[in-house]
Amino acid sequence: MLELVEQKRIKKADIADELSSMRTELIDLANAAKAAGIPVIITMDGWSAAGKGSQIARLIKYMDPRFYNVRPVRRPNEQELRKPWMHRFWLNIPKKGDFLILDGSWYSDIIKSYMNGEITKDEYKQRINDINTFERQLTDDGYLIIKLFLHITQDEQKRRLKSLASDEFTKWRVDEQDFINNRRYDKLFKRYDKTLCRTNTAYAPWNVIPANDRVTAQYTIMQVVTGAIRSACAAKAEGAAFRMNAPFPTIVPKSGSFSLIEVKKLADTDMDKSLTEEEYEKALDKYQERLFELQNICYQLKIPVIVAYEGWDAGGKGGNIKRLASALDPRGYEVKPIAAPEPSELARHYLWRFWTRLENDGHFTIFDRTWYGRVMVEPIEGFTPVERADMAYREINEFERQLTDWGAVVIKFWINIDKDEQYRRFKERENTPSKQWKITDEDWRNREKWDEYEKAVDRMISLTSTDFAPWTVVEGNDKKYARIKALKTVCDRLEDHIRHLSGRHYD
């Protein structure tokens, strides 16, 4: 791809008028994107000394600074290394109508990590997949991603590095590594080129900018950026998907295939399972003790543990979570109750509020309701069109795959009760003063849609029971049975994982 790029030298005088009118247009386009609620991400990558910083400054000079945000991408810090590698990029995705401009990006992140030997070739390939997934998920959600790569030749880079190094004011910006990299330009060229080719998708194509000449670079960037936003606004106005102008032949990334596990329908669950008080007390002690020890091991091995609770209203999630949490060292877990999204959350990709709630590795993150609301309450209550919600099955599998790639154990519970049991519990709540806050009209309304929900849950479980993040349906008519089953499942999953990791047998 890079070898196709022709370095040009456009005269400033020849394009001054056009540049000036593109600048005016960019301001209008930024307002139009704001009005249309399109979030825009511009990534500025390229060779060292290619002029990324100054090109960003030129690009935004006339834009309203309240609507954009420029972030340099540095090496991840200690804190960032304790999260999935894409976490820090998810964290900063813009809200609808805002611009995020990155000096460097997820690309500089993986290329540096790979060149420095911090990640293996397999990990590098995995990250390429993660990037394609990330960009697809965002563009599917209406994000516009404009990827720029500033390309300069080896000679030009050498000239610039020397010039920077010889000036008292700028010499801090270059170091020995830059000169070493300049000497191995060919090797880097291949690496960049491969990375660009593998991520040159139709939904987020690359724009390689000839940057030996600064005016040419500025002019080309302006053309690309205005063109992309113009198309996006036009497409949005027509209700169509963006048609990006892709300068190079694009690829269709291989879709990660997920092997799904066969699961029973809810209707086939045996709802008569129960425990006696005595059996319960004994098992509770046993599994809580075991879990406490397992938490200690997870902490030392830095294994993140994600526990996701879903289930019918009044299914007993709260009490179940309590038995799990009370076994744990309280400094090592956090329970995240998920309510309706806030405005800042609605203004971003729906997975954002889950990405931002992940605790560090070695810790438990326990979700009380989860990202699965996307395929249950959202389409059923009409918050999200069915076609958009349906895309979530794949997105969720990808999300959970990224969690397990990070090293996490992902445990998902559906706490199941039958319709009669729910009625009994609703009534009990209504008749017990201290529990009345737990029951609302909405609960009764949801209950009327029981059959619709049951169908959605069956579908959800069948489409997202992957081998790396399987569902466990917990028979919940008897709360004691349900609590022990959940505790035991967590213990078993963690033991399996630790055994697998260390070849160690845990008893």
Q: What is the DSSP code (8-state) at residue 461? A: H
The alpha-helical segments, DSSP class H, found in 309-391 are: 317-325, 343-346, 352-355, 377-380, 386-390
Residue 241 sits in the site that holds a second copy (CB under 8 A)? no
What are the two backbone dihedrals, phi and then psi, of residue 190, each rounded to the nearest 5 degrees? -65, -40
* 3-state class percentages of the chain: helix first, strand second, coil last, to nearest 5: 55, 15, 30
Where does residue 135 rank: exposed (0-12), middle (13-18), buried (19+ CB within 10 A)? buried
Q: How far is the CB of 359 from a second copy (least distance, A)?
A: 11
- With CB under 8 A as the contact rule, the residue among 5, 36, 60, 165 that binds a second copy is 60
CA distance 90 to 188: 27
The rounded Cα 412 to chain-centroid distance in angstroms is: 18
Site string for a second copy, 425-444 (x = CB under 8 A): ---------x--x-------
Q: Kindly tell me which residue out of 4, 13, 17, 77 binds a second copy, with binding defined by CB under 8 A.
A: 77
**What kind and span of H or E run contains 40?**
strand 40-46
Measure the CA–CA gap between 485 and 60, rounded to whole angstroms.
56
Q: Considering the rule CB under 8 A, would residue 505 count as an interface residue with a second copy?
A: no
We find the least distance from the C-beta atom of residue 313 to a second copy, in angstroms, to be: 15
Q: What is the DSSP letter of 306?
A: E
Candidates 72, 91, 243, 499; binder of a second copy (CB under 8 A) is 72
Q: Which is nearer to a second copy, 56 or 138 (CB)?
A: 56
Stretch that binds a second copy, among 8-16, 175-183, 325-333, 445-453 (CB under 8 A): 325-333
57 forms part of the interface with a second copy (CB under 8 A): yes
Q: CB 94 → a second copy: shortest distance, Å?
A: 12
* Distance between CA atoms of residues 169 and 180, nearest Å: 22
Q: How far is the CB of 113 from a second copy (least distance, A)?
A: 20
Q: How far apart are CA 36 and CA 234, in angstroms?
A: 10
Residue number with CB closer to a second copy (177 or 344): 344
Binding flag, residue 26, a second copy (CB under 8 A): no
- For the bound state, the minimum distance from the C-beta of residue 23 to a second copy, rounded and expressed in Å, comes to 12
Question: From CA 338, how far away is CA 352, in angstroms rounded?
Answer: 13
Six-digit token string for 465: 């029971």
- Looking at 432-504, list the stretches that DSSP marks H as alpha helix, in order from N- to C-terminal side: 441-448, 450-464, 479-502
Segment holding 67, helix H or strand E: none
Residue position matching structure tokens 């999260």: 83
Pick between residue 183 and residue 322 the one whose CB is nearest to a second copy: 322
Binding letters toward a second copy, positions 328-347, x by CB under 8 A: -xxx-xxx-x----xxx---
Q: How far apart are the first and last CA of the chain?
A: 55
Chain residues 102-161 in contact with a second copy, contact rule CB under 8 A? 103
- Residues from 365 through 384 that contact a second copy (CB under 8 A): 366, 368
Using CB under 8 A as the binding rule, whether residue 301 contacts a second copy is answered as: no
* CA angle 315–321–327, rounded 5-degree value: 145
Examine residue 318 and tell whether it contacts a second copy (CB under 8 A).
yes
Q: Which residue in 2, 15, 25, 53 binds a second copy (CB under 8 A)?
A: 53
Stretch that binds a second copy, among 52-60, 184-192, 400-408, 451-459 (CB under 8 A): 52-60
Site of interaction with a second copy (CB under 8 A): 28, 31, 35, 53, 56-57, 60-62, 64-66, 69-72, 77-79, 101, 103, 318, 321-322, 325-326, 329-331, 333-335, 337, 342-344, 366, 368, 434, 437
